[in-house]
Amino acid sequence: SQQGEEDPQALSIQEGENATMNCSYKTSINNLQWYRQNSGRGLVHLILIRSNEREKHSGRLRVTLDTSKKSSSLLITASRAADTASYFCATDPSTDSWGKLQFGAGTQVVVTP
């Protein structure tokens, strides 16, 4: 079963626009991570936010975390065609010391030139 739920399931935007996707999860976490996947290939790590952090930035990425609502959001600013991919949130449950990740179903993002 999936730990998280991403919203929306799919997103279509034009280059230069911002893309925002949300993730909700069910259990307490050590951290939450976002990954990108191009065309059914391997996952690429984008950013990790710890449970005691509220916001984190990395280049054009901004992640927020609200542990009281068990939710996170990923904002991609000034999107490019190369940002076309599926984006997954993954949680590292606090009950786990081995770092097993629990993924959501993902948001499919299409950026048109």
Partner 1 sequence: DAGVTQSPTHLIKTRGQQVTLRCSPKSGHDTVSWYQQALGQGPQFIFQYYEEEERQRGNFPDRFSGHQFPNYSSELNVNALLLGDSALYLCASSLRESSGGRKYFGPGTRLTVL
Binding of partner 1 at residue 101 (CB under 8 A)? Answer: yes
Residues 95 and 47: their CA atoms lie apart, in Å, by 21
Q: Does 98 bind partner 1 (CB under 8 A)?
A: yes
The 27-66 site mask, x for binding partner 1 (CB under 8 A), equals: ---xx-x-x----xxxxxx--x------------------
**Residue 29: how many CB atoms within 10 A of its CB?**
25
Nearer to partner 1, 33 or 72 (CB): 33
* Closest CB to partner 1 among residues 40, 113: 40
Determine how β-strand 107-112 pairs with β-strand 10-14: parallel
Contact range with partner 1 by CB under 8 A, out of 13-21, 58-66, 74-82, 89-97: 89-97
Is residue 50 within 8 A of residue 59, CB to CB? The reply is: no
Q: How far apart are CA 100 and CA 113, in angstroms?
A: 37
